[in-house]
Amino acid sequence: MSVSVTTFELENAGAGMSPFRLKDTLSNPDIDAVVLLLQRDYHCRKCRQQVQDVAARYDEFEGENALVVSVLPEPVDQARGWQESYDLPFPLLADPAKQLGDDLDQPSRFGVLGNLHDMIGRMPEALVVDVREDDPTVTYVHKGTSPADRPSIDELLAEARQLS
């Protein structure tokens, strides 16, 4: 990874403050872990299903002192569309420049073509970040190799549970 996870700031179309800054979670005693879900594309059905599945079990994440943050590599208006459709109880960040995904080495496939078109090339990524200390640490990374290659909700909860 080429960036400290504390340095990013992105517009939030979901629950919580906008802009969202990971460093702001450091002072919150109710948050031990941040589960970052880097999505592929606005149109990706697997991405849409993932955020809905997480939302359906969000009380379990809260029970583990975990904040889920989904990052959509799209303009904030498209992120707002997801929020209006799914009423997500967690932050939904817009990253139209795709900078966070690039900084966190979000996987892509099909070389140059895949890098030009997210729906073809960008793959999902999930990270769990320990925010209990002043210097957050990534404790878990899942880099998808296909659009469906994502950790289960139970796996994400188990990773968060290790930090609570």
pLDDT in tens, 21-53: 999 998 799 999 999 999 998 889 999 999 999
Compute the average pLDDT of residues 57-70: 98
Average pLDDT, the chain: 87
User: Residue 58 in 3-state DSSP?
Assistant: helix
pLDDT in tens, 114-136: 444 445 557 889 999 999 988 89
pLDDT in tens, 131-148: 998 889 899 999 998 889
Calculate what percentage of the chain has a pLDDT beyond 70: 87
Which superfamily does CATH assign the domain made up of 5-161 to?
A: Glutaredoxin (3.40.30.10)
Compute the average pLDDT of residues 1-14: 75
pLDDT at position 107 is 54
Question: For residues 105 and 111, what is the distance between their CA atoms, to the nearest angstrom?
Answer: 14
Q: Kind and range of the H or E element at 92? A: strand 92-94
Strands 92-94 and 20-21: unpaired
Which two three-digit tokens encode residue 153?
């909700």
Q: How many CB atoms are located within 10 Å of the residue 157 CB?
A: 19
